[in-house]
Structures are given as C-alpha cells and as structure tokens.
C-alpha cells in the first residue's frame, strides 16, 4: 500500500502536500492514519509538477524513504505549480524497490500514482512496455496505452480499473492521475478524500490535516476534478 496526494488550483509549492500540513505525505510515510494495508511507506517516494512552456511534467523520484532525503525540503519549497502530484511507497511483497517502480509514472503530459496491489497477470494483458516489473507500472502502462489511443484521462482510468478488478477480485486499485488541467482518481479498495478550497482542490489518500471540509469518496467511484467542478461517478 502507498499514500498519494494532488493539488489543482492556484500555484502552490510541493511542500504544501509534503511538509507543510500536519499530516502531509512526510508524516503519512511513517504514521498513516487511514492506511488499510502496511504500517509504513518507506520504499521510495516521488513527485511531479507542471512548468509553463514545458510539454511534459517534471518528475523527481527516489527509492529511499522520504525522510532520508536531505535535499527534499529545499526542492519542495521552491518547486511550484498549479497542478501537483506526490506519493510515498510501500512496496507489495515481491515487487522491486527501485526508482522505476516508484510513482509518479509518466507518459506525455500524464502523471499517475497507484495505492494498492493487483496480480500482474490481471494487467499484463492490458498493456505492454511497462517501465518496471511492479504491478503499479503495469497499471500505468495500461492507462497510458489507452491515452495514446485517444481515450480521456477518466475513461482510461475507469476502463483499466474495472477490467483489472474483474480479473483480480481482491485487488486494491486506487489510482490518482493528472494532466496539468485536471485530476482524476479511482477508489477501489482503499480510502480517498477531496477538499475544495477557495483557490483549488486537494485530493489525498487521507486528509492532510484535521480542518473541516474533507469529504470521503465512496468505494468503487471515479473522482474528476477540474478548475470548475468536482464530480463523483460510480465505477
């Protein structure tokens, strides 16, 4: 299991997902409050953000615990964007611990993170050319394949999650993805929350703070966040 968080709205630093909140991803890496599988997320972390004039997002990924990277606080304080995604990883037993297995995965302008686990046989026939042998990389490859074929972000996530869930009934398939102008997430076996603020929307595996306004997304749902709307649909 892992934890992830994203922001869409006015420009913010990555520290607003990681260090600044009382229960940001740094705290969730070693003391998650809602995690249903695993106790710590020490098998790597990553973050992605969008820069004006650059067609693809910037990524920074490490295969070490997030709290061991002395360079991260400074980087997270200055890396700013209107669309941010970050994740900490708890590797499924048997999966590699390497940067290529660490979210966010990327293709063209899309970023994607996975909370959960799935049998690789349930997703291998949905795509090829995964970046890593881990289950999350195969899920990402399947989503990206559909995107390259013309599917929208929400359509691609929904199709992959439903098909993988049919093949592996005990899979946990919480995906969080963005394209620079929208956030899309699936809830399938784990928790997800969103919080609408005056200048944007936060989406996270679990609340980043104890302030009012966090809303749980029901299981087996698709969450879509744009500049103007927050929509929840059943999967």
From the list 2, 83, 134, 178, the catalytic residue is 2
How far is it, in rounded angstroms, from Cα 80 to Cα 50? 8
How far is it, in rounded angstroms, from Cα 160 to Cα 165? 8
How far is it, in rounded angstroms, from Cα 62 to Cα 155? 30
Does the annotation mark 178 as catalytic?
no
How far is it, in rounded angstroms, from Cα 235 to Cα 216? 16
Residue whose pair of structure tokens reads 């999350």 in the numeric block? 136
Q: Do the beta carbons of residue 105 and residue 95 sit within 8 Å?
A: no
Work out the number of other CB atoms within 10 angstroms of the CB of residue 39.
Answer: 11
Strands in 3-13's sheet, in edge-to-edge order, are: 58-62, 45-49, 80-88, 3-13, 200-204, 193-197, 215-216
**Gyration radius of the chain over CA positions:** 16
**Among all residues, which ones are annotated catalytic?**
2
């Amino acid at each position: 299991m892992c934890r992830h968080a994203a922001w869409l709205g006015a420009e913010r630093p990555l520290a607003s997902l990681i260090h600044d909140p009382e229960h940001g991803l740094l705290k969730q890496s070693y003391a998650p409050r809602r995690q249903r599988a695993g106790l710590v997320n020490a098998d790597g972390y990553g973050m992605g953000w969008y820069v004006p004039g650059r067609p693809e997002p910037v990524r920074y990924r490490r295969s070490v615990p997030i709290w061991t990277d002395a360079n991260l606080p400074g980087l997270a304080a200055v890396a700013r964007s209107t669309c941010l995604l970050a994740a900490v990883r708890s590797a499924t037993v048997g999966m590699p611990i390497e940067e290529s297995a660490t979210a966010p995965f990327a293709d063209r302008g899309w970023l994607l993170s996975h909370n959960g686990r799935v049998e690789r046989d349930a997703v291998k026939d949905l795509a090829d050319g995964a970046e890593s042998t881990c289950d999350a990389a195969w899920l990402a490859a399947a989503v990206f394949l559909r995107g390259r074929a013309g599917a929208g972000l929400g359509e691609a996530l929904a199709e992959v999650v439903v098909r993988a869930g049919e093949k592996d009934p005990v899979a946990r398939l919480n995906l969080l993805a963005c394209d620079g102008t929208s956030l899309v997430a699936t809830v399938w076996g784990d928790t997800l929350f969103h919080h609408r603020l005056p200048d944007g929307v936060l989406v996270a595996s679990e609340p980043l703070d104890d302030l009012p306004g966090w809303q749980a997304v029901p299981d087996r749902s698709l969450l879509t966040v744009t500049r103007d709307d927050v929509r929840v649909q059943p999967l």
